[in-house]
Amino acid sequence: MPKKKLAVYTATGCAACENTILDIHYDLGSLTRSADIVFWPYVLGSQWDGLNEQGPVDVCFFAGAIRTEADRIAAVRLRSNSKLMVACGACAAFGGLPSLTDLHPETPENRPEHLDEGNEFLLPKLESRVFALEHIVDVDYFVPGCPPTRDFLWAAIQSLVYMGDSPTRISFTASRLPMALAESITSGIVPPRGSVFAGEKAVCASCSRIKEEKKFRGFYRPYEIDPDSGRCLLEQGILCQGLATREGCGGLCTAVGAACRGCFGKAEAVFDPGAKMVSAVSSTFDSTEASEIEGLTKTFVDLAGTFYRYTLATQCALRTPNAEEAKHAPDNS
């Protein structure tokens, strides 16, 4: 089997995704006989002209949101050089935390600054809004999470490197993936485009907290109460997004007593995470009186910033950019 070539790149975001790849370093070492990391500016100091010399890359892991012209150019360049493009982490997959900036009401004072024309320092211009990778180029697979969990990232790397060639490795990896994905990689077929390397159900399915009947008369902000350990947070009146969010983290946050904020994006069956949460939360209101329900609703704050914390750019149906908007690089005037 010829060696596969991998590339890793981060646009606007933080280094957490790349650090997660570094954290699997010990296992990553075992890949060296089957794959080479040929482009990874953060760790290997690779340069762009080196990428062209390498010839086509087999799998590119792209992290970070598209915030500037430079991010867009990098995405296009890596796409044209790579056979498979993987959006790695919430920023690349859904816009992530950086896309929260677009929720802020736009007024002339806080409009993103564009630099003067003819800037001799060639500082890349900011895009009109924050885009996810799929708005700019075609994306083959997604590895969600902020940052992605080591397990799924490793599963994604292994599956795309071996792709049916090393049954022992693949069978272990496949055991963690959703069935359709697992079946295709064990039989050496490229998984369907758009597959997500994470679970299919909602986080609640793997959250260890006990869920009983959901009825509440009051909503609490996370600082106001110390939730009982072991009982569903939503039942205790804390806004937890587990039921609209894709499973795969194993209930990391809820296990620590912190509510889910949806960094894996929406679950497969959900249309819009905000709509799902509205429906789920309101059905738990233990009241039939309009005025009472209205009073209860008033205690909620910042619904959009909570429900779309990591996913505003792609999964908020009302905010997804139209094709025109994504196609154009920022205006140079």
Q: Which residues 253-312 are close enough to bind other proteins by CB under 8 A? A: 253, 255-258, 261, 265-266, 268, 270-272, 274-276, 278-279, 281-283, 285, 287-288, 290, 293-294, 296-297, 300-307, 309, 311
Return phi, psi of residue 59, to 5°: -130, 130
Q: Which of residues 133-162 bind other proteins (CB under 8 A)?
A: 134-135, 142, 146-147
Task: Tell me how far CA of residue 73 lies from CA of 29, 206, 308, 311, in angstroms.
Answer: 31, 39, 27, 22
Stretch that binds other proteins, among 66-74, 78-86, 164-172, 175-183 (CB under 8 A): 66-74
Q: Which of residues 190-209 bind other proteins (CB under 8 A)?
A: 194-196
User: Which residue of 55, 118, 212, 229 would you call a contact of other proteins, by CB under 8 A?
Assistant: 229
Query: How far is 298 from 293, CA to CA, in rounded Å?
Result: 9
Output 29 or 55, the one with its CB closest to other proteins. 29
Q: Which of 50, 34, 53, 42 is nearest to 16 (CA)?
A: 42
329 part of the interface to other proteins, by CB under 8 A:
no
Give the distance from CA 85 to its chain's centroid: 14
11 part of the interface to other proteins, by CB under 8 A:
yes
In whole angstroms, the minimum distance from the beta carbon of 327 to other proteins comes to 10
Q: Which of residues 69-128 bind other proteins (CB under 8 A)?
A: 70-71, 93-94, 97-98, 100-101, 103-104, 110, 112, 115-116, 119-124, 126
Beta carbons within 8 Å of 71's beta carbon, 6+ residues apart = 11, 12, 64, 65, 124, 127
Q: Residue 202 in contact with residue 247, Cβ under 8 Å?
A: yes
Q: Which of 103, 100, 102, 62 is nearest to 79 (CA)?
A: 62
User: Which residue of 33, 108, 179, 331 would you call a contact of other proteins, by CB under 8 A?
Assistant: 33
